[in-house]
Amino acid sequence: MQDYVIARSLFGTTMGFHIIFATMGVGIPLMILVAELMYQKTKDRDYAIMANRWTKGLAVILGVSIPTGTIAGVQLSLLWPGFMEVVGKVIALPFQIEIYAFFVEALFMSIYVYAADRIKPWMRIVSIISVVIGAMASAVLITNVHSFEGTPRGFQMKNGEIVNVHPWKAFFNPGFGITATHVAISAFMTGAFIIATIAAYKMLKEKSQSQVYQFHKKALMLGLAIGGIFSLVTALSGHEAAQMLYKYQPEKLAAAEGLFETQSHAPLAVGGYTDAKTQEVKWAIEIPWGLSFLAGNSFNTVVKGLNEWPKDLWPPLFIHTLFNGMVGVGMLTILLAILGFFWNKVLKKQVFPKVLMWLFVLSGPLSIMGTEFGWIFACTGRQPWVIYHVMKTKDAVTGSQQLGILFILFSLIYCILAISVVLVLRYYFKRHPVKDDLLPGNKQDVNV
> What is the residue-wise DSSP string for 374-403?
HHHHHHHTTTTEEETTTEEHHHHS-----H
Dist. CA 33–CA 361, nearest whole Å: 22
Q: Is residue 18 within 8 Å of residue 415, measured between CB atoms?
A: no
pLDDT of res. 412: 92
Distances (CA, A) of 201 to 86, 216, 340: 47, 9, 15
pLDDT in tens, 234-251: 888 878 888 888 889 999
The answer to whether the CB of 302 falls within 8 A of the CB of 263 is yes
Q: What is the pLDDT of residues 190-238, one digit of tens each?
A: 999 999 999 999 988 888 778 888 898 999 999 999 999 999 998 888 7
d(C-alpha 130, C-alpha 108), whole Å: 6
Say whether pLDDT at 1 is over 70. no
Q: Are 305 and 262 in contact (CB under 8 A)?
A: yes
Mean residue pLDDT across the chain: 87
- Which residues are 269's β-sheet partners? 286
Contacts 24+ apart (CB under 8 A), 344-350: 344/221, 350/208
pTM of the model: 0.91
Give CA–CA dist 189/23, Å, rounded.
Answer: 9
Containing H/E element for 430? helix 403-431
| 405-443 confidence digits (pLDDT tens) | 888 898 999 999 999 999 999 998 888 888 877 777 665
Q: Are residues 128 and 108 in contact, defined by beta-carbon separation less than 8 angstroms? A: yes
CB 116 within 8 A of CB 124: yes
The pLDDT, as a whole number, for residue 363 is 92
Distance of alpha carbon 384 from its chain centroid, rounded? 23
Cis peptide preceding 152, ω within 30 of 0: no
pLDDT at 442: 64
pLDDT of residue 445: 47
- Of the ranges 104-108, 185-189, 379-383, 428-432, the best mean pLDDT one: 185-189
pLDDT at 257 over 60: yes
**Parallel, antiparallel, or unpaired for β 385-387 and 391-392?**
antiparallel
pLDDT band at 186, cuts 50/70/90? Answer: very high
d(CA 407, CA 124) in angstroms, rounded, equals 43
Is the pLDDT at 28 greater than 80? The verdict is yes
CA dist., res. 188 & res. 28, Å (int): 7
Q: What is the DSSP string of 230-295?
A: HHHHHHHHHHHHHHHHHHH-HHHHHHHHT--S-BSSPPEEESSEEETTTTEEETPEEETTHHHHHH
Beta bridge partners of 279: none
pLDDT tens per residue across span 60-87: 998 888 888 888 888 888 888 888 888 8
Please state, in angstroms and rounded to a whole number, the distance separating the CA atoms of residues 210 and 435: 10
Please say if the pLDDT value at position 448 is more than 50.
no
Count of C-beta atoms within a 10 Å radius of residue 327: 19
3-state helix, strand and coil shares in percent for the chain, rounded to the nearest 5:
75, 5, 20
Distance of CA 3 to the CA centre of its chain: 28
| Per-residue model confidence (pLDDT) at position 35 | 92
Which residues does 219 contact at the CB level (< 8 Å), separation at least 6?
50, 195, 196, 198, 199
pLDDT score of 194: 94
Name the band, by pLDDT with cuts 50, 70 and 90, for residue 350. confident
Could you give the dihedral angle defined by the CA atoms of residues 325, 327, 332 and 337, in that order, rounded to the nearest 10 degrees?
140
Q: Is the pLDDT of residue 323 over 70?
A: yes
Task: Give percent above pLDDT 90 in the chain.
Answer: 28
Residue 156's φ and ψ, nearest 5 degrees, are: -135, 150
State the pLDDT at residue 198: 93
Are residues 220 and 227 in contact, defined by beta-carbon separation less than 8 angstroms?
no
Give the pLDDT mean for 127-137.
91
3 state DSSP class of 297: coil
> What band does 33 get if pLDDT is binned at 50, 70 and 90?
very high
Q: Compute the distance between CA of residue 377 and CA of residue 253 in angstroms, rounded to an integer.
A: 11
Listed residue (318, 330, 319) closest to 366, CA to CA: 330
